[in-house]
Amino acid sequence: MKAFSIERYQGEIRATDAPEPVVGEHDVLVRVLAAGVNQLDSKLAEGEFKALLTYRLPLVLGHDAAGVVEAVGPAVTRFAVGDEVFARPADLRIGTFAERIAIAEADVAQKPSSISMVEAAGLPLVALTAWQALVERARVGPGQRVLIHGGAGGFGSVAVQLAKHLGAHVATTASGSNAEWLRDLGADEVIDYRSQRFDELLDGYHVVIDGVGGENLERSLRILKPGGLAIGLAGPPDPEFARQLGLNPLVRLAIGGLSAKVRRQAKRLGVRYSFLWMRADGAQLAEIAALVDAGAIRPVVGRVFPFDETPAALAALGRGGLRGKVVIDHGA
């Protein structure tokens, strides 16, 4: 089958003839009709996570899919051939930049009925990240104040809507040209990162979601109220993340060292820092699908590429400047 893969880290992403997926006992075989493009794909191709995630090369990229079930394993009970589904496959089982992929049943959900395949393909990774940050880890509720950096991007556009649905007062950073659009999505305050410093304008926040890292994360700590929580999506990873991966003690010590500075800063300020590496979860995707069909969250697709132009889609995402997600459409 046709797929787009890398043969080595920091190498080109090329069209290849990949083996057909092997469908396990608990797997769903999905004919991919659309696939979302994420920064994670580019970072993986550059080898940023090779010390943490051991992939066999050549590697088919892609972390988001929407499509139709073509076959199911003998132990599958929740899906049938012909079902329209969407999913973020688990780490070490990625590969949605292909015609077909086998995904564990537990990681798949019925596609929201109110949106297209292209819109659905842009949701899984970013929506699960938003859910796990805001609902699962921060437990955001009515009256809380939440800052989401990068509100116009794929993650931010979903996170702003989810935080507003949860009853929070939502601030976000973005270019000034996106301010009115973000307010329409639910943002109460939009800080123009090009001309304003968010840490001079905001204070007393319960939660910050940061996908930038570095100085941006350090400044974010200063706007939190005592006991507040900063969740880092871009790092640095913390010891809890290393424990979750089951890494050996030496590697865990090294990973803990990466976040030692920011954790010390947080402690001095009386706030908390937590690194989030999202995980696949079909049950959470089903809850997200219900919110989409209820009108609480609407997908934002900034640009669509045909399947044959998958490398160009990754390049466009890398250049930035787009609202929402970049999606690959197999029917385009």
Query: Other CB atoms closer than 10 Å to residue 31's CB: what's the count?
Result: 15
Instruction: Tell me, letter by letter, the H, E, C secondary structure of 10-78.
Output: CCCCEEEECCCCCCCCCEEEEEEEEEEECHHHHHHHCCCCCCCCCCCCCEECCCCEEEEEEEECCCCCC
Q: Could you identify the residue written with the tokens 């780490």?
A: 91
Query: Is residue 40 within 8 Å of residue 55, measured between CB atoms?
Result: no
Residue 244 host element (H or E):
helix 239-245
Region label for 47, one of left (φ > 0), alpha (ψ between -120 and 50) or beta (otherwise): left
Contact 41, 53 (CB under 8 A): no
Angle 261-237-287 (CA atoms, 0-180°, nearest 5)? 135
* Residue 263, SS3 per DSSP: helix
Residue-wise pLDDT tens for the chain (332 aa)?
999 999 999 989 999 999 999 999 999 999 999 999 999 999 999 998 887 788 999 999 999 999 999 999 999 999 999 999 999 999 999 999 999 999 999 999 999 999 999 999 999 999 999 999 999 999 999 999 999 999 999 999 999 999 999 999 999 999 999 999 999 999 999 999 999 999 999 999 999 999 999 999 999 999 999 999 999 998 888 888 877 777 777 777 887 888 899 999 999 999 999 999 999 999 999 999 999 999 999 999 999 999 999 999 999 998 988 899 999 999 86
Of how many residues is the chain composed? Answer: 332
3-state secondary structure of 176: helix
The domain segmentation of the chain, as residue ranges, is 2-123+299-329, 125-275
Into which CATH architecture does domain 2-123+299-329 fall? Alpha-Beta Complex (3.90)
Predicted TM-score of the model (pTM): 0.96
Fold of 125-275: Rossmann fold (3.40.50)
